[in-house]
């Protein structure tokens, strides 16, 4: 199973934002958006990670470790099932925020060909990979530019 850490950052909310993902001891990628929200960057980080890693993960699957309860709880508490059942309305009957990102993320995360699991990790707690992905996302938000590479 491939483990990937994801994070999003926003300077102001809304404001300039950044997202990042990294595989411990492997590849990483980050990107920026000039005007966005923290929640959009958190979802984008997971989406970009799955888009990039599903080819290499295959049937072994992907473990996404995120400090975003917004992302992790969508899967752990199956928010997505209610959204789909209610025609993309939340429990208060309002349109689901960030649907344009959630729909492609759900398509990838729920595809049985590549199993995906989400796990919450406490942010800013000394987890080296979480701290590094936070730095990558924050740097993208502050510079307006992303990076890609390997460790």
Q: What residues act catalytically?
A: 7-8, 42, 67, 124, 134
Contacts with 20 (C-beta within 8 Å, 6 or more apart), sequence order = 6, 7, 8, 28, 29, 30, 31, 45, 133, 134, 136, 137, 140, 146
User: Which residues on neighbouring strands pair with residue 95, listed in sequence order?
Assistant: 89
CATH of 2-150, one of 3.30.565.10, 3.30.70.100, 3.30.420.10, 3.40.309.10: 3.30.420.10
Mean pLDDT for all residues in the chain: 96
Q: What is the pLDDT of residue 58?
A: 81
pTM, two decimal places: 0.96
Q: What is the pLDDT of residue 125?
A: 87
Q: How far apart are CA 144 and CA 24, in angstroms?
A: 24
Q: Write down the domain spans for the chain.
A: 2-150
- 30-56 pLDDT, tens digit per residue, is 999 999 999 999 999 999 999 999 988
Contact 109, 103 (CB under 8 A): no
Tell me what the mean pLDDT of segment 98-109 comes to.
Answer: 98
pLDDT at 124 over 90: no
- 42-93 pLDDT, tens digit per residue, is 999 999 999 999 988 888 999 999 999 999 999 999 999 999 999 999 999 9
Q: What is the pLDDT of residue 59?
A: 83
State the pLDDT confidence band at 16, using cuts at 50, 70 and 90.
very high
Q: What is the pLDDT of residue 134?
A: 97
H helix or E strand, kind and range, residue 58: none
Q: Which two tokens stand for residue 141?
A: 């938000």
Q: How far apart are CA 147 and CA 32, in angstroms?
A: 9
What are φ and ψ of residue 5, in 5° steps? -100, 140
């Amino acid at each position: 199973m491939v483990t990937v850490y994801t994070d999003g950052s926003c300077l102001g909310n809304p404001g300039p934002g950044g997202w990042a993902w990294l595989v411990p001891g492997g590849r990483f990628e980050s990107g920026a958006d000039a005007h966005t929200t923290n929640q959009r960057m958190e979802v984008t980080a997971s989406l970009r990670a799955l888009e990039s890693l599903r080819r290499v993960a295959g049937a072994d699957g992907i473990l996404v470790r995120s400090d975003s309860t917004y992302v992790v709880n969508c899967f752990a508490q199956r928010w997505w099932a209610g959204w789909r059942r209610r025609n993309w309305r939340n429990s208060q009957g309002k349109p689901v925020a960030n649907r344009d990102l959630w729909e492609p993320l759900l398509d990838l995360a729920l595809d049985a060909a590549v199993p995906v699991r989400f796990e919450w990790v406490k942010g800013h707690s000394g987890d080296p990979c979480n701290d590094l992905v936070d730095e990558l996302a924050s740097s993208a938000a502050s510079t307006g530019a992303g990076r890609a590479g390997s460790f």
